Amino acid sequence: MQRSISTEVKDGRSGRRRCAGQRRAASSAIRNAAALVCVAALAACGSGEQAAPPAPAPPVEEAPAPAPAPAPPVDEAPAPAPPREVDFSGGDAARGEAVYLANCASCHGPRGEGDGPVAATLDPRPANHADGTRMNALSDDYLAGVILHGGPSVGKSPMMAPFAGVLDEGQVADVVAYIRTLADPPYRP
Ligand code: HEC
């Protein structure tokens, strides 16, 4: 009985040894298989990474480019304006009086004598448009220029505001014509 047991044990040991040999063979086969899987996976990953990004990205960056193109035509707009000569000598004094009373009399006074309600607060005081000895020497263009562009445009007080944008050129010509009727001695063009 004992012998057969020991034989079985020996067989069992040798069987274990055989198993170990099979395990080594199996594990090397698994390693080889695993290596193949890794190579296959790397190949798949490599080709996957290279193929995916280039395709979708570029079209998004190229989209905004066509928009700025329509801008340049704006540069051509301001050109036609400068070559205009305005004649401020043909104004209507009656229309100009209404414009003067509405826009100028608060400082210059209703008769242009520099005695409007605001005049006392100003330094220098508003010009006396009734003083013909001084006003008659000034041209229509000079007066229109002061009215349109303000006192500082001729070295005078900034309290004489620019009326460009408030009065159109026809109204400025009318106001100049009214100022001429105030002069004493009278204005002779
Ligand atoms: C807020 C007050 C004020 C108002 C409103 C005003 N002015 Fe004047 N104006 C002045 C002052 C101040 C001066 C400068 C006076 C000076 O420096 O001799 C002046 C100067 C002038 C001059 C220059 C005269 C010169 O001797 O060179 C003219 C022309 C004139 N104004 C016309 C007008 C007319 C036309 C209006 C209305 C459309 C007007 N002003 C509205 C205050 C005013």
The residues that bridge with 167 in the sheet, in sequence order, are: 164
In a domain, residue 17? The reply is yes
- In a shared domain, residues 48 and 100: no
What total of structural domains would you count in the chain?
2
In a domain, residue 66? The reply is no
Q: For position 110, which CATH number holds?
A: 1.10.760.10
In a domain, residue 84? The reply is no
Query: Which pairs with CB-CB distance under 8 Å and at least 24 residues apart come from 90-94?
Result: 90/173, 90/177, 91/170, 91/172, 91/173, 91/174, 91/175, 91/176, 91/177, 91/178, 92/173, 92/174, 92/177, 93/174, 93/177, 93/178, 93/180, 93/181, 94/178
Q: How far is the CA of 158 from the centre of ligand 1 (A)?
A: 9
User: What domain range includes position 139?
Assistant: 93-182
In a domain, residue 64? The reply is no
- In a shared domain, residues 44 and 97: no
The CB of 116 under 6 Å from ligand 1? The reply is no
Closest ligand 1 atom to residue 154 Cα is 27
pLDDT of residue 36: 47
The CB of 176 under 6 Å from ligand 1? The reply is no
pLDDT of residue 61: 59
- Per-residue tens of pLDDT for the chain, all 189 residues: 454 444 444 444 444 444 444 555 545 554 555 444 434 444 444 444 454 555 555 555 555 555 556 665 556 666 655 556 789 999 999 999 999 999 999 999 999 999 999 999 999 999 999 999 999 999 999 999 999 999 999 999 999 999 999 999 999 999 999 999 999 999 998
Predicted TM-score (pTM) of this structure = 0.64
Closest ligand 1 atom to residue 167 Cα is 38
In a domain, residue 81? The reply is no
pLDDT of residue 187: 97
Q: How far is the CA of 84 from the centre of ligand 1 (A)?
A: 25
Q: Ligand 1 test: best mutation among 88, 107, 181, most atoms within 8 Å of CB? A: 107
In a domain, residue 21? The reply is yes
